[in-house]
Structure 1
Amino acid sequence: MLSYRHCFHAGNHADVLKHSVQSLIIESLKEKEKRFFYLDTHAGAGRYQLGSEHAERTPEYLQGIAKIWQADDLPAEIIPYLNAVRALNQGKKLRYYPGSPLIAQHLLRSGDKMHLTELHPGDYKLLRNELSKNEHAKVQRVDGYQQLKAKLPPLSRRGFILMDPSYEIKDDYQRVVKNIEEGYRRFATGIYALWYPVVLRQQIKKMMGQLKDTGITHILQIELGVLPDSDRYGMTASGMIVINPPWKLEQQMAILLPWLRQVLVPAGYGHILLKWLVPE
C-alpha cells in the first residue's frame, strides 16, 4: 500500500516530537570528530508547503510547528530542530516544513553520509530533486527495511538509523520490530530511532512487548499525548523508541517534554512519558 501521503500531516505534534528527537541525536553524534552514517528508511518528500491544498485540507501544523514558531522562552533543547525549520523559511512567515531528510541535511557535517529511501513514486521524485545537489546524500526508491541488511554496518562504525513507517496496515507494527532486530544483529552499536503513532493503545503495548522479547537492551521510550487514549479512529499520541540513545538524551527530553506539553497540548488533556523500556 502506498496511499499514505505525509503532506496531509506535515508539521503536526507528532512531527515536532519526532524531529526534535532526531535533531538532538544528530547534535550528540557531532560532538565526536569522527564522521557517521545516517539512514532514513521511510524518508518522504523532504519538503512540505504548509499553504498547499493538501496541508490546508487538514491543517494539523497549526497545532504543531505553528505554536512552536510563535513561542517565547524557547528551551535550548528545541533550538537545533527549530533552526532547521527556520532555514527553509525566510523572515517571520512559516511557509515550508522540512521532513527528516532536510532536517538531517541541515544538521549533518559535510563528511557525514546520508542514505535515504522512499517507495512512493511521487514523494521519491520530490525527495530526489531536493537532495540533487548534495554529493554526500544518496536517494533510492527501494524498500527501506532492506537497507538494514544492505547498508549495515557502515564503514565508519558510527550510525543513526531513523525509521518512520506509515503504519498503514496493522502488520507494520510487527514488521518494524522484526527489521529492527535484523539491523541490530548486524550493527549492535548503532543508534536506532523508531517513530510510532498511538491510535489503539493495545497495538502499542503489543509492539513494546515484542521489542522487549528481542533481547535488545538500552531502549528508551519517549511519548507525547495530546488527547486521552480512545478506541475511536485517530491518533491521540505519538512516540519515539530509541535504542542506544546518546547519554544525555534522557536528560534533554526530561526538560523538553514538559515544555512541549505546555505549548502544544490543550489544558487538561494529554500526557508525557519518558522511561526505559529496557535498561542497559
Structure 2
Amino acid sequence: MLSYRHSFHAGNHADVLKHIVLMLIIENLQQKEKGFYYLDTHAGVGRYRLSSDESTKTAEFKEGIGRLWNQEDLPEEIAHYISLIKLLNSGAKDLNYYAGSPLIAAELLRPQDRALLTELHPTDFPILRNNFRKFRNVDTKRENGFQQLKATLPPKERRGLVLIDPPYELKEDYELVVQAIEEGYKRFATGIYAIWYPVVLRQHTKRMIKGLENTGIRKILQIELAIRPDSDQRGMTASGMIVINPPWTLEAQMKKILPYLTRTLVPEGTGSWSINWITPE
C-alpha cells in the first residue's frame, strides 16, 4: 500500500518536533570535522507548497509551524529551525513552503558530508529526485528504505545518522522498524538512529518500544509531544522521536525546548511532553 502522501500533513506539530530533533543531531555531528553519512528511509518529496490542494485541505501546518512563524523571543534552537524554513521561503514574510526532513538535512550538510534519500511512492519519487538535483552530495533512490540499513551500513565514514520515518499505514510498520534497527545496529553499532512515530493507538507504540527493548540495544532515548491525552478515537494525539545513541546534549536541549513548544503549539492547555530513557547506557 502506497497511498500515504506527506503533503497533507507537512508542517504540523509532529513535523516541528521531528525536524528540531533532526537539526540538533546534525549540528552535534558537525562538531567534528570528519564527514558523516545521512540516510533518510522514507523521504517524501522534501519540499511542500502550503497552498497546494493537499495542504489546504487539512491545514495542519497552521497548528504547527504556523504558530511559531511570527513568534518573537524564540528559544535559540527553535529560532535556528525557523531560520531554515525562512531560507526555503527566500526570506519572505509569508509562510508559503515547508521543508521535509531531507531538505532540512541537505541544507545543513557540509561538503564532506553525504546523504541518501529513498522513497518508494511512484508519484513522490520523481519530485524528490528533481528537488535535490542541485545537491552534489545527495543521492536519491526509488528503493525500500528499510532495506537500505542492510544495504548501505556501515558507511565508509564510520559516522552517521539514520532517520526512519515510515507512514505507519499498516500496523506491520511498527514491527518493520524494530527489524530494521536490528539489521542496522548489527552493522553500525556506533551510528545514531532517529525513529519518528505517531500515537494513534497507544498499544502499537508500546509494542514497538517493547520490541526495541528486547533487542538489547542500550542508550535509547524517547522524546514525545502530545497535543491531547490518548484516546481510542480516530486521529493522532501525540508523536515522538526515539533516538538510539543520542548526542549527550540532546536530552537537556529538548527539556528546554519542549515546554515552550507545548505552550505555543497547544495553547488550549491540553498538551503535554515527556522525555525518558527506554534503555540507559
TM bucket, shorter chain: over 0.9
The 5-angstrom pairing of residues 53-64 of structure 1 reads 53-64=53-64
| AA in 2 matched with 1:47 | R
Q: Distance in 1 between matches of 2:84 and 2:125?
A: 21
- For the pair 1:243 / 2:230, whether they are aligned, the reply is no
Alignment of 1:1-280 (within 5 A): 1-90=1-90, 91-280=92-281
Supply the distance in 2 between the matched residues of 1:13 and 1:168 (Cα, whole angstroms): 19
Deviations 1:220-279 (A, max 9, x none): 000000011100110000000000000100010010010100100133302101011100
Deviations 1:46-87 (A, max 9, x none): 100001111000000000001111211110121332222111
* Shift, 1:30, TM fit: 0.5
What SS is found at the alignment partner of 1:142? coil
1:134, distance to aligned residue in structure 2 (A): 1.2
Cα-Cα RMSD: 0.8
Q: Which amino acid aligns with 2:26?
A: I
Amino acid at match of 2:102: P
Offset at residue 122 of structure 1 (A) = 1.2
- Structure 2 CA distance, aligned partners of 1:252 and 1:77? 8
Compared with structure 1, are the counterparts of its residues 79 and 110 closer, same or farther at alpha carbon in structure 2 (3 Å cutoff)?
A: farther
Q: Distance in 1 between matches of 2:44 and 2:79?
A: 23
Gaps of 5+ in 2: none
Which amino acid in the other structure matches residue 229 of structure 1? D
CA contact (8 A) 1:24 1:80 kept: no
What is the one-letter code of the residue matched to 1:138?
Answer: D
Unaligned ranges ≥5, structure 1: none
SS in 2 for 1:145: coil
Task: Say whether the 8 Å CA contact 1:161–1:191 is kept in structure 2.
Answer: yes
- Number of residues paired by the alignment? 280
Give CA-to-partner distance per residue, 1:121-178, whole Å, 9 cap, x none.
Answer: 1111111001112111110000011110111000110000001000000111111111
Runs (4+) of structure 1 exceeding 2 A deviation are: none
Q: Is the partner of 1:121 in helix, strand or coil?
A: coil
TM-score, normalising length from structure 2?
0.98
| CA distance in structure 2 between the partners assigned to 1:107 and 1:137 by the alignment | 12
Residues 7-45 of structure 1: per-residue CA shift (max 9 Å, x gap): 000000000000000000000101111100000000001
Q: How far, CA to CA, are the matches of 2:104 and 2:196 in structure 1?
A: 16
- Normalised to the residue count of structure 1, the TM-score between the two structures is 0.99
Amino acid in structure 2 at the alignment position of 1:74: L
Any idea what SS the aligned residue of 2:248 has? coil
C-alpha contact (below 8 Å) 2:34/2:112 kept by paired residues = no
Question: 1:8·1:55 contact (CA, 8 Å) conserved in 2?
Answer: yes
**Counterparts of 1:85 and 1:133 in 2: how far apart (Å)?**
18
Q: Determine the C-alpha separation between the residues in 2 that align with 1:52 and 1:170.
A: 29
